[in-house]
Amino acid sequence: MAFKDEVMRVVRAIPRGSALTYKEVAAWAGSPGASRAVGTILKGNFDPAIPCHRVIRSDGKPGQYNRGAKKKVELLREEGYYEKQNPE
């Protein structure tokens, strides 16, 4: 399977309310040093079945999103990702 297909498979499996880093996606897809390539691949994804908004930077910041960084944060918030990271 091509790296791009592996990336899409990994991202498709990220559960709602969770996130992986670009580095983690690259590792799960079989190329641990290819985190930038993961970002490049996801930049071109417009398939709603592949929730690329669930892929974040290693420092915990959301990073870029092909529908706008603000939309990425909005989607993560709607899914409860931030609440899981900062339980009260």
pLDDT in tens, 53-74: 999 999 999 999 999 999 999 9
Q: Give per-residue pLDDT as tens, 9-52.
A: 999 999 999 999 999 999 999 999 999 999 999 999 999 899 99
Cβ atoms of 68 and 45 within 8 Å: the answer is no
Structural domain spans, the chain = 3-81
Note the pLDDT of residue 87.
Answer: 56
Catalytic residue among 52, 55, 56, 75: 52
55 token code pair: 């892929």
Q: Report the alpha-carbon distance of residue 68 to residue 9 in Å, rounded.
A: 23
CB 8 within 8 A of CB 20: no
The yes-or-no answer on residue 39 being catalytic is no
The CATH number of domain 3-81, selected from 1.10.287.890, 1.10.10.10, 3.40.190.10, 1.20.1090.10? 1.10.10.10
* pTM score: 0.92
56: helix, coil or strand?
Answer: strand
**Is 88 a residue whose pLDDT tops 60?**
no
CA distances from 62 to 18, 54, 59 (A): 12, 9, 9
* pLDDT band per the 50, 70, 90 thresholds, residue 8: very high
